[in-house]
Structure 1
């Protein structure tokens, strides 16, 4: 069963090799949602030789000051959550922690919010705690280059930047580092109108067009991160992500757009819609976990947004993998 497999993975850290995210719990949940059998899940769960044990430095769990954003606190957070569950206190702290995760959705290159959303859908409490511990221990706010709170102008900004592209920064290391490097370019604040904040739905449209223009790794994570953030919001009675999350996701969109050379964002041509069951079956056959997760995210966004364009992207991803998605 999936719950047993997720429990077997608990000794491992949320990251490995100095910052790469442990995708295995997320991919298992994604495959399960796509209808994978226990045998298929077991085959994937066995592929864990690349993972690293979770260190726990034994810090006092009675005082969490200074833990937020401290990667070395992941093990202590897990112990803290287990203690709170034993005392019946976990739920009392949950609303403020969810708010924290949503306020910094690009943390751990979007994997904090993604893993937490997947874990909550799976419902395995120790995995929920592991996902939350990873999100909080790797918590990071993106710099906001002059963004404010009135909706206007995102499409025009992107078109203007495409007409006169900003210089692409030096190669980064992790996705969040690339975004921060792009937003730190000196011309960025001067080329943003005051009061820029697009609606979340409009941002997701431009995020999809950006991926279809470049189908690059960081643009992919913007999509899966958006689906996870919206999943968390909808799962807790919100119609949309909070403004704090939308601001951070817009900053991420701008940074990724710059980092990908400010491409033209054109709507791709229409294609015949595939059956959802067929898309799920094709996605399960993909060997790459990013293709599996992107296909699932697009299927979910097609439903959450009531937008068939997401279904078309899901079908393309399931059939060809994320690298083979047709360019706009």
Structure 2
């Protein structure tokens, strides 16, 4: 039943564009995938009834994408990109399309305030964990198209580089990876907090410590190590939300959900792409933290305890897409680490947003 509900939801959403009100991201496809995955499919259509009214129509194309490098990062070509990936996914297996485009899109991980990669991560999970369907393939195409249209690099980041560590830490990410903790703790902060994410990204190169911050988490040189690093990064970012989320409750969600999206995509990728994926995920979390987190943390919040199912149920009742998506991410972090503290991040977001 859940699979049918998700496909129905995708059909409703695919009449709408990837953004609304100029540049705000359409969170519908991501939120409904999370709701269905965690057993709340019966709430999906009611949630959509309230959400769809704010969305714009599907953008029209201008001309076919012929020189993809020229069209990359041009939001005026959003309709062209959506049509391009719709055609590619009709003609080739989805894993082949993803494998071709992931390394092309990865350097632009800041696209749409990281919503490009986040939407792709939800779409890939829907395809990996259940049957393929025309609706799920179409959703991957729309996610990739949105990422391509809004493609935007993190200044100074280069996901193609990174001779990494040879060793993989032992234990679980929840044990606390000192490398990740040190890298997160050492992130600088921009002083000028005016404007949106595109304005703030342009201020990162002026930070004297920014190059060192990007290099503070070198990727592992093995696929197993890369997966471990990403799980540890999601874990550390989830705990950081409890310390800094009060300052920018919505935007700091993406410091958690962006690396989570990369982590859940790894199994569908060639292992040779895992290390650069870690580097890109780290650059996204580092950038969001540097742009939106305050210098000083807040006192630990008081959040009602609950098991994973109850934590997500509360988020579903809350209804905000960012709260739902953060709950979805921290449940994965909890499954990987066993650390109950990360679950509190979802409840804290529910209090703040």
Q: TM-score, normalised by structure 1?
A: 0.80
* 1:13 maps onto 2:43 in alignment: no
Residue deviations 1:88-123 (CA, integer Å, cap 9, x gap): 466543312123344433321111111111122333
Query: Superposed, which structure 2 residues align to 1:53-202 within 5 Å?
Result: 53-88=57-92, 92-123=96-127, 124-144=136-156, 155-156=181-182, 159=185, 168-174=191-197, 176-178=198-200, 180-189=201-210, 192=212, 196-198=216-218, 199-202=229-232
Give, in angstroms, the shift of residue 285 of structure 1: 0.5
Q: Distance in 1 between matches of 2:102 and 2:157?
A: 25
Q: Distance in 2 between matches of 1:64 and 1:187?
A: 34
Q: 1:212 aligns with which of 242, 250, 253?
A: 242
- Between stretches 102-111 and 249-258, larger displacement belongs to 249-258
Q: Distance in 2 between matches of 1:280 and 1:169?
A: 35
Contact 2:235 2:342 in 1 (8 A): no
Residue deviations 1:288-313 (CA, integer Å, cap 9, x gap): 11111111111022123444332343
* 1:283 maps onto 2:295 in alignment: no
Query: What's the counterpart of residue 39 of structure 2?
Result: 35
Q: Distance in 2 between matches of 1:241 and 1:301?
A: 22
Query: What's the counterpart of residue 321 of structure 1?
Result: 350
Q: Distance in 1 between matches of 2:273 and 2:234?
A: 12
Q: Distance in 1 between matches of 2:334 and 2:320?
A: 22
Contact 1:183 1:254 in 2 (8 A): no
Greater helix percent: which structure? 2
- The runs of 5 or more residues in structure 2 that have no matched partner are 128-135, 166-177, 219-228
Query: What's the counterpart of residue 221 of structure 1?
Result: 254
Q: Distance in 2 between matches of 1:281 and 1:194?
A: 36
1:66–1:312: structure 2 CA closer, same or farther, 3 Å change rule?
same
Q: 2:340 aligns with which of 292, 298, 308?
A: 308
Q: Distance in 2 between matches of 1:224 and 1:19?
A: 19
Q: Distance in 2 between matches of 1:231 and 1:91?
A: 14
CA RMSD after TM alignment: 3.4
Q: Distance in 2 between matches of 1:34 and 1:121?
A: 13
Contact 1:150 1:196 in 2 (8 A): no
Equivalenced residue count is 312
Contact 1:206 1:265 in 2 (8 A): no
Q: Distance in 2 between matches of 1:245 and 1:197?
A: 12
Give, in angstroms, the shift of residue 22 of structure 1: 0.6
What secondary structure sits across from 1:242 in the alignment? helix
Query: What's the counterpart of residue 232 of structure 1?
Result: 265
Residue deviations 1:108-145 (CA, integer Å, cap 9, x gap): 11111111111223331111111111111111110127
Contact 2:244 2:297 in 1 (8 A): no
Q: Distance in 1 between matches of 2:98 and 2:186?
A: 42
1:57–1:236: structure 2 CA closer, same or farther, 3 Å change rule?
closer
* Structure 1 segments (4+ residues) deviating >6 Å: 145-148, 151-154, 269-272
Q: Distance in 1 between matches of 2:147 and 2:257?
A: 15
Q: 2:47 aligns with which of 40, 44, 47?
A: 44
Q: TM-score, normalised by structure 2?
A: 0.75
Q: Distance in 2 between matches of 1:236 and 1:244?
A: 12
Give, in angstroms, the shift of residue 202 of structure 1: 4.6
Contact 1:219 1:256 in 2 (8 A): yes
Contact 1:105 1:245 in 2 (8 A): no
Give, in angstroms, the shift of residue 230 of structure 1: 0.6
